[in-house]
Amino acid sequence: MKENRRTFLKAFGLGSGAILSNPGFAFDTSGTNLEDIKSNLDVFARRQMETDVLIAGGGMSGICAALAAARNGAKVILIQNRSRLGGNASSEIRMHISGSSTLGQGWRETGILEELMLTEAAVNQQTCYEVFDYVLYDKVFSEKNITLLLDTMLFDVSTEGNRVSMIKAYCSQTEELYEISAKLFSDCTGDGTLAAIAGAEFMRGREAKSKWNESLGQDQADDVTMGSSLMFQAQKHDRPMPFVAPSWARKYTFTDFVHRRISAYDYGYWWLELGGRVDIVKDIINDGQRLRDELMAVMFGVWDYIKNSGNHPDSENWALSWFGMIPGKRESRRIVGDYIMVQRDTQTAPLFEDRVAYGGWPLDDHLPEGMDDTSQKPNRAIHLKGPYSIPMRCLYSKSYENLFMAGRNISVSHVALSSCRVMATCATLGQAAGTAMAYCLDNSITPAILCNTTQHIQKLQQILLRQDQSILGVQNNDENDLARKASVRASDEAPDHPASKVIDGYNRDVRDGNTHQWQASMNGGEPWIELSWDNAQTLSTVECTFDTGLNRYLRISPSQAVLAMNQVRGPQPETVSDYKLEAIHNGKTVYEKFVTGNFLRKVVHAFPTVKADAIRLTVQKTHGDELAKIFEIRCYQA
Amino acid sequence: MSAYAFIFPIFSSNSQSIEEGHYQQEEVFIHQAKGSAEAEVKLLSDQSGNPVMYTSHLISAVCSDGICKPIDIHLYWDLLGKFYRYQTSDEEELTKFDHEPFTEEDHARLHEILSDENSILQDYEVEDLIDTDRKLHSDEIDGVTGATNITFRDASVEGAMYTVYTLWHFINGDVRNKIFAHTKSLLSESLIRYMLQSEKGDYHNFIFNNLSDSQRKKFAPEIISLISSKDIYTPHFAIQQLTDDVLADSIHQAAVLEQFASVPPVVQNSLLARIESQPIYNVGIRALLESVPQLASNQLDRVFLIIGRNKASIDKLNMKALKNLTLQPEKDFSYFAERILDQVSDSSNP
């Protein structure tokens, strides 16, 4: 009789790191026969894989890291321990993506995240959460340099000296055991699992005020973190929908909600939170399972209160339509990098030389007790003056020279994390890390050398900027951008928005008192803008950055109120929809491309190399705006 | 979003000023705030000796860009250390940039900021609040000062930021803890009674958090009358203070339930939850029955469940009331009343 799966896994090192090194202990029977093990391999397939970049974790950070690395030429394997991508943003947890839009200063995140959000808004008019999962899957799956492994759990990491060499993962759905070697690794697990197994240095809990002079720190350091939440959705029906609470639901009364507002019934509440005082990462078997059960009791208790206390009579026709069973985690480990970002960095916003992303969410620390103590406020959010920069030195481990990280497990203090943990910021960190990984591979350098070399860092920043990642105080300095040397004119220019703005180095508004886009009226016909050179240029790429209303929000949410708040669902009205792009030489069109139905902010046109002395873009249609708007045009030889 | 912020009336500079002469004064401690001069904190009590509020006469200077402005201001806190109001004299006006005096609006704004104990002013150094790119040029002092950064606009009076910052920190800093501790040390029967009889939800809550069970019994009458308090939360916290002992007392129980008909539905629901498993006497049942026609349908279940559990308290008067309820068969409550009557007649059948 074949041994059961569990003992067989032990033989392959689940939790022990050993591969067939000691097959004897895995079997009860004496007289172990190696032939038995080999014959079991037709149940578990063992896959050895090799790649440039291994990314563990398919949340918003991991997705953006994978796409960024892949698009910059690296071969990527992305492993995700769920069936769907997206992590806390996916349909399984349904926390909506928050970020710097909250500043109200027009700092919505761009780059890959913007591409994902715009796509979702355009194709998911029905606002179905699983379609968001599909958008993420489509983007990742369609990227030829990415191998996506879903339902694949990381369980072991091998290291050699100060390098990570291999990870082991397991997929029960497909009965596969993976051994994945890579040149570079990125921990986007959120929990810092890869780093922890590797033995990299990490932080956990809340630091004392005195450690980094943080006014929001604790009097004494402890191992408490922010808690996790479960969300739910409900729908209104045309008749009363009774609800009977299960025996294990908690019981709440009016005074439990002194500090927690039950505003609407269609979407649950972020304050439905527990677990900051429970170490869900260390003691996963006991406390992690229990935490989820306790959160279920809280969630059903709150719903019971809404439906049956009598204090919300207007909830009578409402009924639950969905709820999460995976707690949305806010904080676990924080991997130590060459720099630890702290509270003051978010409030005074220094411009780090190696800055690669920005945050803007308030310093938003949560009461660790969560719903265990309803007499206290669930959080305190301290708003920031403006966005703050995040340095590259926070995105790689100081312990292993080829280990990167992105997401909520980066090198920051607990207080700083209370701001930079939100998913929009994490997505941009993923793009930064992924781009940096590809850069390091191309240049055969470690991230430490990258950050210590001005020339390298500036090159990386220019690559990021070109790929639409916004970095505070960094403008287009790309010497290879031929557009910067062109003369620009247009058929029409709105006041204060001349054609020359498309090469002024900025691709968005930055609140500096100046405008940074060309605008022309659509009422007079089809406005065009033209870049020209005295001498013919060799061109193969033209890149455009359009307007997508960065002063608004753009994100799917289960909440009707959030969807309606300063957000347009669908293609953004300011965005150029239809246009003609021409390359012209001596008055003759040598390349022509018609685009219809564009809804993206950043569009890259690659075409067979031509010789041209002018590039002309004719705007034929917008998604509603009466003005044609373009932030930036770039031209490249290659 | 606490209801307490709305309880306390906002005083504009037009409202009646505080005549300290009307109060007994007693210096209780000297407070030195960081970077400020020392200030004496006094307790003001009324003629009966009840503590009413704390006060301090702050004389200090606010300096910025090398220019110092004097402040001379009277500050008042309530008994728990929460900011109440301030007073300036005509000779010592508060001024803004370029010695412009505060307008009425500025005073109202300042009061609002100083009352906000969660203000963002506690999380930043004063220099951080300024936008270094935007300066205001002063003709009079021949210099420039920074304009307030947009994030802090609601937390400051433009042109008076240093004054606002200094005052906020003095008023909401450590002195609050000292005041609170001092009041706690004064807690006596009369002070407890005084605070329970006040209209401040904060005071009620403070007392509720500091009562022993025997005190809950002693102050039952005051606690019970708070069930009709207009504060959003006080009635519920008061109901939580009712011990089983107190509810078992027929006089107290009657005093509780005679308020049932006139309190808001959410308070009714809290009451019903509290008395669910308590024995209810005749008078209490009567009060519940009287309220029935006004109750929402989702409350009827619970009320009649309680009545059904206390059939022994259905005396002649209560029987009559029940029968009256059945006279409107189209109403939900009629059905519930019928069921109770059935059960009562069943049990009285030999």
DSSP string, B111-130: HHHHH-TT-GGGGS-GGGGE
Contact A316, A308 (CB under 8 A): no
Burial of A435 (0-12, 13-18, 19+ CB in 10 A): buried
Burial class for A39, CB neighbours closer than 10 Å (0-12, 13-18, 19+): exposed
What pLDDT score was predicted for residue B123? 86
* Nearest alpha carbon to residue A289 among A324, A247, A326: A326
Nearest CA in chain A to B265: A311
Q: Which residues pair with A545 in a beta bridge?
A: A602, A632
Using CA coordinates, name the residue in chain B closest to A384.
B151
| Residues present in chain B in total | 350
Contacts of A104 (CB under 8 A, 6+ apart): none
By the CB < 8 Å criterion, does B150 face chain A? Answer: yes
d(CA B210, CA B197): 16
Phi-psi region of A573 (alpha: psi -120 to 50; beta: other; left: phi over 0): alpha
How high is the pLDDT of residue B4? 27
Alpha helix positions (H), A534-607: 560-564
The C-alpha atoms of residue A625 and residue A479 are separated, in whole angstroms, by 33
The answer to whether residue B133 scores a pLDDT higher than 70 is no
Residue A253 with chain B: CB contacts under 8 Å: 236, 270, 273
Which own/partner pairs from B292-300 qualify as long-range (CB within 8 Å, at least 24 positions apart)? B292/B325, B292/B333, B292/B337, B293/B325, B293/B331, B293/B333, B294/B261, B295/B268, B295/B333, B296/A310, B296/A313, B296/B265, B297/B332, B298/A310, B298/A313, B298/A316, B299/A310, B299/B265, B299/B268, B299/B269, B299/B272, B300/B332, B300/B333, B300/B336
Token duo for residue B31: 């407070």
Distance CA A484, CA A488 (A): 10
The span from the CA of A353 to the CA of A425, in Å, is 19
Q: B-chain residues within 8 Å CB-CB of A105?
A: 150
| CB-based contacts of A389, cutoff 8 Å, min separation 6 | A349, A350, A351, A352, A355, A357, A358, A471, A472, A473
CA distance linking residue B43 with residue B186, whole number of Å: 11
End-to-end CA separation in angstroms for chain A: 62
Beta-carbon neighbour count of residue A455 at 10 Å? Answer: 7
Select from A255, A316, A380 the Cβ nearest to the Cβ of B233. Answer: A255
Residues from chain B contacting residue A375 (CB–CB below 8 Å):
none
DSSP state of A208: B
Q: What amino acid occupies position A550?
A: L
Q: Which residue of B124, B241, B295, B301 to mutate against A (max A Cβ within 10 Å)? A: B124
Six-digit token pair at A343? 């509270």
As a whole number of angstroms, the distance between CA A435 and CA A461 comes to: 10
Beta bridge partners of residue B196, listed in sequence order: none
- Euclidean distance between CA atoms A491 and A475, whole angstroms: 26
Taking 80 as the threshold, does the pLDDT of residue B10 lie above it?
Answer: no
The verdict on a CB contact (< 8 Å) between A253 and B273 is yes
Give the nearest chain A residue to B301 (CA atoms): A310
Residues A441, B52: Cα–Cα separation, whole Å: 72
Q: Do A385 and B240 touch (CB under 8 A)?
A: no
Calculate the CA A363 to chain-centre distance. Answer: 19
B315: burial class by Cβ within 10 Å (0-12, 13-18, 19+)?
middle
- Environment class of A476 (CB within 10 Å of its CB; exposed 0-12, middle 13-18, buried 19+): middle
CA atoms of B26 and B106, how far apart (whole Å): 32
Q: DSSP E strands: which ranges in chain B?
A: 24-32, 38-45, 51-64, 67-77, 83-87, 130-138, 143-148
* Residue in B closest to A380 by C-alpha: B118
Place of tokens 């790119």: B133
pTM of the predicted protein model: 0.89
Task: Determine the Cα–Cα distance for residues A316 and B33; give it in Å rounded to an integer.
Answer: 54
- Torsion angle of the four alpha carbons A304, A309, A310, A314, in this order, in degrees rounded to the nearest 10: -30
DSSP state of A494: B
A-chain residues within 8 Å CB-CB of B133? Answer: none
Counting one residue from chain A and one from chain B, the pairs whose CB atoms sit within 8 A come to 53
Question: Which alpha helices (H) appear in A12-163, and where do they start and end?
Answer: 34-40, 60-71, 111-123, 129-141
Q: Do B151 and A385 touch (CB under 8 A)?
A: yes
Question: DSSP class of residue A284?
Answer: I
B120 at A interface, C-beta within 8 A: yes
Please tell me if residue B148 touches chain A, with a CB cutoff of 8 Å. no
Q: For residue B6, what are the contacts with CB-CB under 8 A and spacing of at least 6? A: none
Contact, A219 vs A209, CB < 8 A?
yes
Using an 8 Å CB-CB cutoff, list chain B residues near A310.
265-266, 269, 296, 298-299, 302
Closest CA to A277 of A210, A379, A205, A202: A205
pLDDT band at B135 (very low <50, low <70, confident <90, very high): low
Nearest to B48, CA basis, from B197, B201, B224, B228: B197
Contact A311 B269 (CB under 8 A): yes
Angle ∠(A345,B163,A343) on CA atoms, nearest 5: 10
User: In A200-229, which positions are buried (b, 16+ CB within 10 angstroms) versus exposed (e)?
Assistant: bebbbbbbebeebebebbbeeeeebbbbbb
Angle at B319 between CA B317 and CA B324, to 5 degrees: 95
* C-beta atoms of A254 and B236 within 8 A: yes
Give the pLDDT confidence of B200-219 residue by residue, as tens digits: 999 999 999 999 999 999 99
By DSSP bridging, strand A45-56 and strand A76-79 are parallel
A348 CB neighbours in chain B (<8 A) are: 128
- Phi, psi (degrees; rounded to nearest 5) at A514: -115, 160
Length of chain A (residues)? 638
d(CA A323, CA A265): 13
Q: What is the mean pLDDT of residues B165-187?
A: 93
Query: In angstroms, rounded to a whole number, what is the distance separating the alpha carbons of residues B193 and B92?
Result: 39
Q: What is the pLDDT of residue A3?
A: 38
Mean pLDDT of B264-282: 96
What's the confidence (pLDDT) of residue B349?
55
Residue where the block lists tokens 């006060």: B55
pLDDT at residue B36, rounded to an integer:
64
CA–CA gap between residue B223 and residue B229 (Å, rounded): 10
Q: What are residue A147's DSSP bridge partners?
A: A77
**What span, in angstroms and rounded, lies between the C-alpha atoms of A622 and A581?**
15
**Whole-angstrom distance between the N-terminal and C-terminal Cα of chain B?**
58
Higher pLDDT, B59 or B301: B301
The confidence score (pLDDT) of residue A4 equals 40
The residue ranking higher by pLDDT, A23 or B150, is B150
Residue B230 pLDDT more than 90?
yes
- Strands (E) across B106-263 are located at 130-138, 143-148
> Residue B139 pLDDT more than 90?
no
CA–chain centroid gap for B182, Å, is 19
Rounded to the nearest 10°, the torsion over CA A337, A342, A346, A352 is -50
pLDDT at site A596: 98
Mean pLDDT (chain B, rounded): 86
Are A545 and A602 in contact by the 8 Å Cβ rule? The answer is yes
- Name residues of chain A where pLDDT drops below 50: 1-29, 32, 37, 280, 283-285
Q: How far is A385 from chain B (nearest CA, A)?
A: 5
3-class DSSP state of A366: strand
Are A347 and B270 within 8 A, CB to CB? no
Give the whole-angstrom CA distance, residue A428 versus residue A426.
Answer: 5
How many beta carbons lie within 10 A of that of residue B222, not counting itself?
Answer: 18
Tokens of A281: 């990462």
Residue B158: what are its φ and ψ, rounded to 5°?
Answer: -55, 125
